[in-house]
Structure 1
Amino acid sequence: MQSENQFIHLPILESKGITLAVKREDELHPFISGNKYRKLKYNLQEAKKENIDTLLTFGGAFSNHILATAVAGKEKSFKTIGIIRGDELRDKWHTNPTLKLAHKNGMQFKFVSREVYRTKEQEDFITDLKSEFGSFYLIPEGGTNALAIKGCEEILTDSDTDFDVVCTCVGTGGTVAGLINSAKPEQQIIGFSTLKGNFLENEIKKWVYKNNWQLNTDYHFGGYGKVTAELVEFINSFRIETGISLDPIYTGKMIFGLLDRVKNDSFVTGTNILAIHTGGLQGIAGMNMILKKKNLPLLRL
C-alpha cells in the first residue's frame, strides 16, 4: 500500500525557490494511519506466524499507537491488551475519546501508575504481565522494534528519489530510522524531535547504518504533548491554505519547524523537500478537550 505525494504551494516556498510535497501516509487508514500502519504490518504477520492470538502494548491516554493496535487487532482477529500510563484514568477512561474507541474495538486495559509504567521494559514486570494475561505478542511503546523499522523502510518509493531532503517527526525513532535506511545516499533525512534533549540520537543510531541524517530539537514547543496557541494557530492556518490537517503532537511541530527553516534560509534555492505525514489526527478530539480547559484556541479539522 502506497500513499500519494501532495505538493504544497505557499508564498514562503515560492519566494525561497523551495519545492515541498507532503507524503499523505495519513490517508492509508482512518485509524491505522501513517507510521502506525507501517510499524504494525510485520509485527502482526510475525504474531500470526508464531500462532499468538493476543497483542499487548503500552501507551498514554491519547496514544495513537494504542488505538491503532486495537483497530488492527480487531481487523486481524487478535485480542488486544493496552497497558495505560496513569492509574487515575481507571474509573474515567470512558471520558477519553482515544481509550473509548480503543475499547470499542476490543482492547482490554490495565492502568498503572507512572512510577510502575517506567518499569515496563524490565523482565520482572513482563513476567508479571504474562502471569496475569497468559501468552501474548509484545509490541513496544510507540511500536518501534526491528520489524517496525522494516515496515517504515517501505514509506519511500522509487518515485521519491528526486527529493533532496526527506523530513519526518520523531517520537521513538522508528520511522526516521526506516527512512534513513531506505533513502538514497545523496538524500538528507531530517528528523524533528517532539521531545526535549538529544537522547533520541542514540536510539536512532541503534537501528541505522548511514550518516545521511540529522535530528532537529528546536521545535518541541516545550516537550512531548506540549501545545501552544502559536502552534494551534499555525496548524489551523496550514489547513486553510493547503487542505491538510496536522496533529499538534507530531506533524504540526515538524511542518512548523520545516517552514521556519525555509524562512531562515537553511535550504539552498532549488531544494526539493518531502515531508512525511505520519497520521495521528484521531488525537485532535482529545487535545481539544485539554485546550478548552486551558482556554487556548481549538484545533479545527
Structure 2
Amino acid sequence: MTHPELRPRPPSPLVEAADERFAAHGVRLLLKRDDLVHPELPGNKWRKLAPNLRAALDAGHGRLATFGGAYSNHLRATAAAGRLLGLETVGIVRGDELAGRPLNESLARCAADGMRLHFATRSEYRRKADPDTRDRLLAAAGAAGAYVVPEGGSNALALTGCAELGRELRGASDVVAVACGTGGTLAGLAAGLAPGQRALGVPVLAGGFLGAEIRSLQGVAFGGPAGDWTLAEGFDHGGYARVPAALDAFAADFESRHGLPVERIYVAKLLWALHALTAAGSFPRGTTVTAVITGRP
C-alpha cells in the first residue's frame, strides 16, 4: 500500500504574473507555483524524492542517506521526508570545518527533523561518485546499507518525477524556465514538455558543467536526449548560496509586486535571469514564459 505522503498530488497552480517589465517587451510571464505542491517538500524536491522514497520503502529500507552542502534544500527536504515516513536519515555534508560549529538555519532544520549529520572533507566529498569513496563516507556516517539518494536527488527515478512536471505544462507556454543545481529537474522537465516547447535552465553555480550532466542523466533515464532544452549561464551571482544586495533587493521587489515569497538561492536567480533576458530581447514578442517556482524561503 502506498504511504499517504507518496500518493499522486494534484497539479500545482499555474498563475499569470502581470508585470510591466515583461509586458513592455511583449512577453507574458506565468508562474508555476510548484512551491505549493506539498506542504513540507516543495517543488522539485518532492518531485525528485517521491519516486526514490517509494523505491526505498518497496525495498524495505528503514534509512536514507544523501549528500549536500551546508545550505542544501535537498538535505532539508530529505530530512522532512524521513520524519513524515518514519525513516532514519543521514546527511553527508560538504566541509569538515563545519563540524563542531553552530548549525546554520538549513542544517538546524535537518537536525530538528531527525537527520544525523556527518561532515566530510571537501576533497573526499568531491570524490563521492567513486564507489570506494562513497562506501567509506557512508560507513563513517553510520549509513552503510542505507538507501542512497544522490546529491540534489538527481537520478533516473527523479527524472521520471520531473517529467510529470513537464506534462502538467504541456501547451501552457513557449518556454518553461527553472533554476538548476544538479540539472535533474531540467533533464526531466524537458522530457515531459510537448514538441515545440523549450525548457530553459538557469544554473545557480558557475562552471559550465551542467550540460554534460544533463545529457548523462537523460541517457540513463530515457536512453538518450529528450526534449528541447538550453542553459542560460552567467546568472549565478558569484556562486551557490551567494545573494548579493542587488539580487536580494530584486527578490524583495518581486515579492512586493506579486505577493510571492521568493526563495533566494534558486528562485531569485531564475527570476532575475528571466528579467534580464527579456530586457535584452532574448524572447521574441508574443512569447509566453513560465517560471517554475521550485521552493520557498
Number of the residue aligned with 2:44 = 35
Q: Aligned-pair distance for 1:211?
A: 5.5
Asked whether the 8 Å contact 2:158–2:184 carries over to 1, the reply is yes
Unaligned runs of 5+ in 2: 1-8, 219-224
SS at match of 2:205: coil
1: CA distance between counterparts of 2:197 and 2:143? 45
Q: CA 1:231–1:159 in structure 2 vs 1: closer, same or farther (change >3 Å)?
A: closer
Sequence identity (%): 37
Number of the residue aligned with 2:71 = 62
1: CA distance between counterparts of 2:153 and 2:111? 19
SS at match of 1:74: helix
Q: 1:142-181, CA deviations, whole angstroms, 9 ceiling, x for partnerless residues?
A: 1100011111111134564131111111110000001110
2: CA distance between counterparts of 1:116 and 1:79? 24
SS at match of 2:251: helix
Matched to 2:123, the amino acid is E
Number of the residue aligned with 1:25 = 34
Single out whichever of 192-201 and 131-140 deviates more from structure 2.
131-140
1: CA distance between counterparts of 2:176 and 2:262? 17
Number of the residue aligned with 1:82 = 91
Number of the residue aligned with 1:225 = 241
Asked whether the 8 Å contact 1:31–1:67 carries over to 2, the reply is no
Number of the residue aligned with 1:291 = none
Q: Which residue among 144, 149, 174 is the counterpart of 2:159?
A: 149
Matched to 1:224, the amino acid is Y
Where do residues 112-151 of structure 1 align in structure 2 (5 Å cutoff)? 112-128=120-136, 129-130=138-139, 132-151=142-161
Asked whether the 8 Å contact 2:47–2:158 carries over to 1, the reply is yes
Q: 1:204-235, CA deviations, whole angstroms, 9 ceiling, x for partnerless residues?
A: 11233235111110211122222211111100
2: CA distance between counterparts of 1:197 and 1:159? 29
Number of the residue aligned with 2:230 = 214
Q: Which residue among 264, 268, 278 is the counterpart of 2:280?
A: 264
* TM-score, normalising length: structure 1: 0.88
1: CA distance between counterparts of 2:266 and 2:252? 15
Matched to 2:38, the amino acid is H
Q: 1:232-284, CA deviations, whole angstroms, 9 ceiling, x for partnerless residues?
A: 110000000011122222111111111111112111111111111110x34xx
* TM-score, normalising length: structure 2: 0.90
Q: Aligned-pair distance for 1:88?
A: 2.3
Where do residues 224-263 of structure 1 align in structure 2 (5 Å cutoff)? 224-263=240-279
1: CA distance between counterparts of 2:20 and 2:170? 24
Asked whether the 8 Å contact 1:55–1:137 carries over to 2, the reply is yes
2: CA distance between counterparts of 1:190 and 1:238? 20
Q: CA 1:20–1:68 in structure 2 vs 1: closer, same or farther (change >3 Å)?
A: same
Matched to 2:43, the amino acid is G
Q: CA 1:205–1:110 in structure 2 vs 1: closer, same or farther (change >3 Å)?
A: same
Matched to 1:255, the amino acid is L
Q: CA 1:158–1:109 in structure 2 vs 1: closer, same or farther (change >3 Å)?
A: closer
Q: Aligned-pair distance for 1:28?
A: 2.1
1: CA distance between counterparts of 2:195 and 2:202? 20
SS at match of 1:203: helix
Asked whether the 8 Å contact 2:71–2:106 carries over to 1, the reply is yes
Q: CA RMSD in A?
A: 1.6
SS at match of 2:217: coil
Unaligned runs of 5+ in 1: 283-301
Q: Which residue among 107, 112, 137 is the counterpart of 1:104?
A: 112
Matched to 2:244, the amino acid is T
1: CA distance between counterparts of 2:238 and 2:46? 28
Asked whether the 8 Å contact 2:69–2:94 carries over to 1, the reply is yes
Q: Which residue among 192, 196, 201 is the counterpart of 1:182?
A: 192
2: CA distance between counterparts of 1:52 and 1:255? 39
SS at match of 1:206: helix
Matched to 1:156, the amino acid is G
Matched to 2:119, the amino acid is F
Number of the residue aligned with 1:165 = 175
Matched to 1:162, the amino acid is A
